[in-house]
Structure 1
Amino acid sequence: GNPHSGNPSSEHMADIVHQVRGTVLNHFNVTNDQYDCVFTSGATGALRVLAENFEWTKGKSKFVYLEDNHTSVVGIREPVETQNCEAWSKSPFHLQNYDAVKVKEQNKIYFRVGNIFAYPAQSNFSGTKYPLFWISEVKKGEAFNLSKLITTMALRLLKYTATPITRTLAASKNIHLRSGCFCNVGACVSMLNLTPENMKTIFQSGHSCGDHIDIVDGKPVGAIRASLGYMSSTRDVDSLVQFIKESFLQENNLSAEVNDEVYYDARSSVSDSSKALTLEKIFLYPVKSCRAIEVKQWTLCETGLTHDRMWMIVNDYGVCLTQKRENLLALIQPSIDLEAGTLTLESESCGSVEVPLNADDRIDGSVDINVCESKVCGDRVSGYDCGEKVSKWLSEFLGYKCYLIRKNNETRFAKKRKEIENCSNQTLALTNGAQYLMLTSSSVKFLQEKINSQLSEDGSKLGFDEIVDRFRCNFLVSGCKAFEEESWSKIFIRNQANVVKFMCSGLSNRCSMICVDKTGQKGLEPLRTLGT
């Protein structure tokens, strides 16, 4: 799949590419916070990307390279000359015998502009190794006639994402669409009748690929494409047409009473801050994307409910599995025995298997722990392999090699919540965006009525508990109006001894996982109704 498309097969490919990037960075003992790993056709292609996208300052920037260098490096001279900048070739002898005092004086007269210094860690001609500390000395301005060394990033193509709900709905039917501008901004602008002023507004507003924004100032910022190839059949086209009919054609007119309710906006009403609510249920999800455990009481920790989303299942590539790609995860029921210190996974077809809650308390007595890396919501996370026994159990159940990974103690922050007061230091386990997810009974009932009112007489109606189960909340609260929670900023939960304050960090974006029921089957609801 094309990693830019955002459909399930494309996301799977993007995850594999991300894992390879992580492996490359680990090989060089660096992280993705320090370096970007960009795949190119080869050394020449990589250096061309660097030269063509570097911020050269005409007549002022310098390109300095060691004589002992790959010919691809020498090729950078051409784009340098087009910018009226100078290219200097230096011998190893010259660099190893520079006058540091003289260089520091010369640096004072150079403009603070971007420069490039290129030398090989090891010569491809003689095998000579050059000192890596040259890099830090250049950065400090203590060596050579450079004011600074700038690390560069790969070119970011301007793309806009359109109609994420449509793409997500299609994924629930195994139809892989692409939305956005398809890496062709010119044609996209022409087809959507966007003016240069519109483009500036879109760009300045900060919208980019993957931000779930499809309209800016009333104008669509992307299109939706279904691609057909030589292997496509009439049956494929019929499936697409049927999906469009089921998802977007309303054959029966809703009553006036129902239409009035569709546009209910909780943010336009004032919430009663003194209202007493009831915490109806508490759920935790030890293994990401597996079934919930309902508890009457539970302890909290710095990442949320203790043991909540501390484990994940990864495939042989190290990619984290979710119900979006692997519906069978909905059939795995975890349970926790705090006294025994064990986590149990159970399924009807494969029985059960136990693993210790803590990585340093292994059942088999082994002291060897494999450290693994994966990606959760764009973040690289590290964890411990829980062993071969549970790996065999999972592999038998899912039909391919996979592993159970427990998150280690490395801190992971909720990066997307920095703009929320007191939420910038929110630490996460393997959750996607926040430590806790809350639902209100009134909002669930409202959604349930909407879904069931649009079903045909022979349609299978969704029950209240089934909808709650699909949204994978930690807390279910009652005693308020439908969607009133959208206007809340703080929540206080108290028992006989303590009061705990929770900050509301934002609304939760839901994906096609909410269309998977407990049997692992996918449908269109409730995502279709949420998108209307």
Structure 2
Amino acid sequence: MASCEFAGLCTFESFKRNWPHYGFDTDQRELIQREFTRIKDITYLDHAGTTLFPESQIRNFYEDISRNVYGNPHSHNPSSRLTHDTVESVRYRILQHFNTSPEEYSVIFTAGCTAALKLVADSFPWVSAHGNCSGSQFCYLTDNHTSVVGIRGVTGPKGVETVPVSPQEVEARAKNNQTSVSTGHECSVPHLFCYPAQSNFSGRKYPLSYVRGVQSRRLFPACERRGRWFVLLDAACFAGCSPLDLKQHPADFVPISFYKMFGFPTGLGALLVRNEAAELLRKGYFGGGTAAAYLVGEDYFVPNSNVVSRFEDGTISFLDVISLHHGFDTLHKLTGSMVNIQLHTFGLARYTYIMLSCLRHSNEQPVAQIYCDNEFESAAEQGAVLNFNLLDCHGRVVGYSQVDKMACLFSVHMRTGCFCNTGACQAHLGISNQEVKRNLQAGHVCGDSIDMVDGRPTGSIRISFGYMSTFEDCRNFLKFVVSCFVDKPLRLDQDRLARLRLAAPAEATVSNELTSVPNGRTVPEGIDLNIFPGPVRKASSTEAVLKTEGNSGKAHTLTNIFIYPIKSCAAFEVTEWPVVLQGLLYDRTWMVVNENGVCLSQKREPKLCLIHPHICLASSTLQLQAPGMDPIALPLEASEENLVLRKCQSKVCGDRVQAVDCGERASVWLSQFLGKPCCLIRQNPDFSRDMKMGQEQGLCPPSLSLVNEAQFLLINRASVALLLDHIVNRHDISQNGTSFDMLQLLHRFRANLVISGLEPFEEEDWSNVKIGGALFQVAGRCGRCQMIGIDQASGTRTQEPLRSLSECRNGKVTFGIYLLHLPKRNPSTYPTLSVGSHVIAQTEKSAD
């Protein structure tokens, strides 16, 4: 019975029975096919980062600006008046959307939500302590975005007291319904309380009643400080999927971000200011259009009397503003109302929350730790956001960076880290202030991929839904989690399913035990075997692997040398090759960039692997071959004339590199093959770029070519063989159409040096390596990404080998080691590496 019931939970029909608010009286799949064709085969779950614009919105905007001439609104000619009138119409449309009017609020356009917050910080009438008044307070909920907390960077130097307030403190006072009591002289000092309508971390919605509660000094912290209290309600995360009624909840300042509402335009936000609060704002800097009059010869300036004109410095982004008309039109046409969007998205988030929270490993341990403050019972209390970390069967957190890499294989787009909300991250993950500081000392900064420090997570994973999200998105996400991170057989907490009321037919008998999902083909109708795969078989022993690999010769031998003349293009295999200052001669000396100078890698353009470079030292040429193309030969060295005429810049792994354009002939050849404008550039011979990796170990930073991390990458054939055995023995290898052999898998890892070894992954314990007469130092392990999922012979994408690499290495996705060459002092010559050379390794222990 339990299995049959679970089959019902997995079907769209059951979901619709339990949540009739799905969709907008239309077929969601038809909506995607009509308006969002670009996300075919993509599971996009980062709507809290930015939602997606529908194609009709952009078409209508294009037709608008194609028909009409919009001039600078500061002029008075007909085209300028048209712009002014249209912009004013958009202002009214925005106020109407939030159920208010120009009599109550003004709309000040800004460069984004952060710019709107900065405007409040710079212009709020902060008062330092004086007389009987202790000065202004800047109070903020600890579950606030960085851009809100950053206001204290302005208030601190002004001597304004900063008071961080936890959600629990406000809740406790709200329950007591504390009311302020006036005692004698009432101070008119202004204070500001900031809180989010919805947490961008967990999706928790904070009561909008806090607005009037603070303004009337009935709610902490306003009830403890005399003066006039203003409320800043951060609606950036809230407004994308929820209706906001400013007539009922008249916050004084409401920053919003339009790309979170419509997906387009980006770089445009607004500050909705309550008119009675706007009169108190003070202006410092003044730009074009904000002055009624000023003198250049003396300090005389009179601001524009209109609050909007007073604060919109310079010419606003008027075409982007005009595009908002089409954003509102299309949103209403496709969905009907914000209430419909709220119910649709909440239903998807609730379903995903319930299913994810009920997943169990084979040993009954939970698969996920979810960070939330409720059970997703009400759309008034919870937004369409789900924040979590995945756990292995031993209860250990799987680093979010590892999960993100695997998600790319399944085309699942989500967000990881702390989401610019350190307060919520600390509260939910239990990270102390001291740990934040220690993590920084360990090299972790906001936005990086360092997901674990001392075995503890530094952040988490967030998925979020938009009005174009579908039930299939939920299924694809769950399939990804179960496929990659569940110790099979999957089990389900049926008791929790029943308690959360998803186990819908009411007449069904529900077991209170954990139930295994069947692994065979004879299963109850409704269960999708692809989303609930059976247990993965164990890889065979190391001895068997080595037997099939035939490593019966010398312990360590250099078996292959590969150079990659053009970054991300095919390998050029040699039997011997010289080492130079930057690594192997001509390794990653060239790269392909698009028309904007951005580096193209196989992650962006898989067809690069079909371009085969060949270096001919005798003729001093770089020869390129590709299917369906005539070969082309280019000079290895750039002439002095070209160095002067064709200098350009690009970036590699965040480093700015100086390069030389290789000319139109190469550009035409590459553009024709790749089907997009691009060109070939060569690292400027005079440019030097130092390696970052290993510097924390005190290693002398060597010079790099256009490689990502280090001069050399080495892999061990025994390690490749072990992984190959794991892939071949996967239970579903016959279903996903992937087939591998030793050579193909070896090419996936794009190493410079391949060795034969006795033990898989023994190379990870090495500190120094001697290959022939050349000495190398190990600079670290190579963290792998979805690029190893590209078949180097065809350019097709596969989930393997990253999926199996993560499984057989307990979540780690490192493979291979980075080396840097340790030349003799002031070398007159550099060594040459040869296939067949002996490889002598020194481990950390032997070094001691």
Q: What TM-score comes out, normalization by structure 1 length? A: 0.64
Q: After TM superposition, list the pairs within 5 Å mapping 1:45-444 onto structure 2.
A: 80-82=157-159, 162-196=399-433, 198-209=435-446, 211-249=448-486, 250-251=488-489, 252-253=534-535, 277-360=556-639, 369-409=645-685, 410-420=687-697, 423-444=699-720
- Residue 524 (structure 1) shift: 1.6
Distance 1:388 1:510 in 2: 34
Distance 1:207 1:306 in 2: 34
Q: Deviations over 1:465-494 (max 9, x none)?
A: 112101110111113311111111111122
Contact 2:643 2:660 in 1 (8 A): no
Distance 1:382 1:307 in 2: 16
- Residue 295 (structure 1) shift: 0.5
Partner of 2:300: none
Q: Does 1:509 align with 2:783?
A: yes
- Residue 452 (structure 1) shift: 1.7
- Residue 206 (structure 1) shift: 3.8
- Residue 246 (structure 1) shift: 2.8
The letter of the residue matching 1:525 is: E
CA distance 1:203–1:358, change in 2 (3 Å): closer
The letter of the residue matching 2:774 is: V
CA distance 1:81–1:398, change in 2 (3 Å): same
CA distance 1:297–1:210, change in 2 (3 Å): farther
- Residue 41 (structure 1) shift: 4.4
Q: Deviations over 1:429-488 (max 9, x none)?
A: 011111100011111111111222214362533211112101110111113311111111
Q: Deviations over 1:11-37 (max 9, x none)?
A: xxxxxxxxxxxxxxxxxxxxxxxxxxx
Q: Deviations over 1:99-132 (max 9, x none)?
A: xxxxxxxxxxxxxxxxxxxxxxxxx9879xxxxx
- Residue 389 (structure 1) shift: 1.1
CA distance 1:201–1:412, change in 2 (3 Å): closer
The letter of the residue matching 1:237 is: C
The letter of the residue matching 2:765 is: S
Identity among equivalent pairs (%) = 39
- Residue 294 (structure 1) shift: 0.6
- Residue 226 (structure 1) shift: 2.4
- Residue 420 (structure 1) shift: 3.7
Select the residue among 512, 522, 525 that pairs with 2:797. 522
Q: Secondary structure at the match of 2:781?
A: coil
Q: Deviations over 1:381-435 (max 9, x none)?
A: 01000001111111122222111010012111102222345x4231100111111
CA distance 1:195–1:80, change in 2 (3 Å): closer
The letter of the residue matching 1:183 is: C
Q: Does 1:465 align with 2:542?
A: no
Contact 2:535 2:731 in 1 (8 A): no
- Residue 361 (structure 1) shift: 7.7
Contact 2:660 2:681 in 1 (8 A): yes
Q: After TM superposition, list the pairs within 5 Å mapping 1:447-466 onto structure 2.
A: 447-456=723-732, 458-459=734-735, 460-466=738-744
CA distance 1:301–1:224, change in 2 (3 Å): same
Q: Secondary structure at the match of 1:374?
A: strand
CA distance 1:219–1:172, change in 2 (3 Å): same
- Residue 195 (structure 1) shift: 4.6
- Residue 237 (structure 1) shift: 3.3
Contact 2:724 2:745 in 1 (8 A): yes
Contact 2:589 2:683 in 1 (8 A): yes
Contact 2:616 2:622 in 1 (8 A): yes
Q: Secondary structure at the match of 2:631?
A: strand
Partner of 1:152: none
Q: Does 1:486 align with 2:764?
A: yes
Distance 1:527 1:254 in 2: 15
The letter of the residue matching 1:234 is: F
CA distance 1:219–1:346, change in 2 (3 Å): same
Partner of 1:151: none
Which is worse superposed, 220-229 or 429-438?
Answer: 220-229
Contact 1:428 1:434 in 2 (8 A): yes
Contact 2:595 2:678 in 1 (8 A): yes
- Residue 232 (structure 1) shift: 2.7
Contact 1:440 1:480 in 2 (8 A): no
The letter of the residue matching 2:700 is: S
CA distance 1:455–1:283, change in 2 (3 Å): farther
CA distance 1:245–1:255, change in 2 (3 Å): closer
Q: Which runs of 5+ in 1 are unaligned?
A: 11-39, 53-57, 59-75, 85-123, 128-159, 262-274
The letter of the residue matching 2:713 is: L
Contact 2:659 2:681 in 1 (8 A): yes
Contact 2:602 2:787 in 1 (8 A): yes
Which is worse superposed, 222-231 or 467-476?
Answer: 222-231
Contact 2:407 2:480 in 1 (8 A): yes
Which is worse superposed, 195-204 or 373-382?
Answer: 195-204
Contact 1:173 1:523 in 2 (8 A): no
Q: Secondary structure at the match of 1:505?
A: strand
CA distance 1:324–1:210, change in 2 (3 Å): farther
Q: Secondary structure at the match of 1:413?
A: coil
Q: Deviations over 1:146-186 (max 9, x none)?
A: xxxxxxxxxxxxxx995112111222333221111111222
Distance 1:420 1:125 in 2: 60
Contact 2:561 2:752 in 1 (8 A): yes
Partner of 1:21: none
Contact 2:539 2:725 in 1 (8 A): no
Contact 1:167 1:179 in 2 (8 A): yes
Contact 2:537 2:731 in 1 (8 A): no
Q: Secondary structure at the match of 1:320?
A: coil
CA distance 1:333–1:389, change in 2 (3 Å): same
CA distance 1:237–1:286, change in 2 (3 Å): same
Could you say what the CA RMSD is over the residues aligned between the two structures, in angstroms? 3.7
Distance 2:467 2:632 in 1: 45
Distance 2:766 2:451 in 1: 26
Contact 1:490 1:503 in 2 (8 A): yes
The letter of the residue matching 2:804 is: T
Distance 1:77 1:212 in 2: 30
- Residue 301 (structure 1) shift: 0.6
The letter of the residue matching 1:450 is: H
Contact 1:173 1:522 in 2 (8 A): no
Q: Secondary structure at the match of 1:439?
A: strand
CA distance 1:236–1:369, change in 2 (3 Å): farther
Contact 1:162 1:220 in 2 (8 A): yes
The structure with the largest alpha-carbon Rg is 2
Which is worse superposed, 330-339 or 381-390?
Answer: 330-339
Distance 1:445 1:510 in 2: 17
- Residue 254 (structure 1) shift: 5.3
Contact 2:622 2:636 in 1 (8 A): yes
Distance 1:189 1:294 in 2: 50
Q: Secondary structure at the match of 1:231?
A: coil
CA distance 1:434–1:462, change in 2 (3 Å): same
